[in-house]
Every structure is written in structure tokens, then in C-alpha cells.
Amino acid sequence: MAEEKKYERSIELLNKALAGENTASLQYMLFHVICEDKGYRPLAKYFKKTAIEEMRHSEMLAERILFLGGEIKMVLAKGIKNMKTVQEMLDYARQLEKDTIEDYNAWGKEASANGDGGTRKMFQELLVQEEGHMDQYRLEMENMEQFGDEYLALQVLDNLKHAE
Ligand SMILES: [Fe+2]
Ligand SMILES: [Fe+2]
């Protein structure tokens, strides 16, 4: 089998993943700015950190597409959503991570079945990081549900602490 043909499906999957990472990166950067504006400092910082991590994932995926002789499609998987409440943002972020983890598990297996262990390894490395993101969003959601307005008040108090 010609090399280009062999990696055709992997390149397709890597481009789908790239579009998803681009979306996550911009979505979290937007959440960062909204939370920062509301004075929710710890959460704002976490959204920025994950946005940057997703951007690094985009870089890794794009590099591998070129390595396999493919063409990079630098697009978004879907539109970026504007949200007002922390609950909406956390819920959406958690769902994004959950979907990504499912996709990467499936796509990694598919790449491996096509004889592309390198792409599988990349999906596995990425999905471990996405699991970390999902876990953090889940924890924030739980705190939010448990403490309600107090959770938000603590976010703002942390902001004041750093303003000294
Ligand atoms: Fe990612
Ligand atoms: Fe993530």
C-alpha cells in the first residue's frame, strides 16, 4: 500500500481532532475572559491554562498531519458559544472533554487497526490530559452545586486577596 493511502484515514482523524482542539482552545479562552471580567479569578486562570493546553494539542496534531504527508485543515469543529453563568460554562466544558475522550479512544483504536501505532499513541497521550481537564471541571461543578453562591463569593474573595 502506498504511504499516502496507508495514512489517509489517520490524517482525516487527526484533522477532526485538530478542529476540536481549536474549538476547545477558543471556547476556554472566551470563558477565561468572561470569568476574569466577573472577578472569578481561580476559575478564570484555570480556563486560560486549559485553553493554552488545547492549543498545544492543536500544534501536536498539526505536526503529525504533516509528518504523515497530509494537509492541515485549520478550522473549527463548531461555533464558539457565549455563556453568562459559571454553571453553563462548566457544564459545557465538561461535556466537550467527555466527547473528546470518547472520540480519542475510538480514533486511537481505529488508527491502530490501520497499522498506525504512532497516531494511536498520540491520541492516548492527549486523552489522558483531557481526562485531567474533565476531572477538574467535574470538581468545580460539584463545588458549585454544593456551595452555590458561596463558591462564587470565594472566587471573588480570592481575586481581592491577589489585588493587595
Ligand atoms: Fe485537548
Ligand atoms: Fe481538554
Q: What is the pLDDT of residue 30?
A: 98
Q: What is the pLDDT of residue 38?
A: 94
pLDDT tens digits, one per residue of 10-32: 999 999 999 999 999 999 999 99
Give CATH for domain 3-163: 1.20.1260.10
Distance of CA 4 from the midpoint of ligand 1 (Å): 26
Q: What is the pLDDT of residue 164?
A: 60
Give Dmax over CA atoms of the chain in angstroms: 65
More confident residue, 145 or 102: 102
What residues have a C-beta under 5 A from ligand 2, the ion? 97, 130, 133
Distance of CA 23 from the midpoint of ligand 1 (Å): 10
Alpha helices in the chain (DSSP H): 3-6, 8-38, 41-67, 86-113, 117-147, 149-163
Distance of CA 135 from the midpoint of ligand 2 (Å): 10
| pTM of the predicted structure, to 2 decimals | 0.93
Q: What is the pLDDT of residue 3?
A: 60
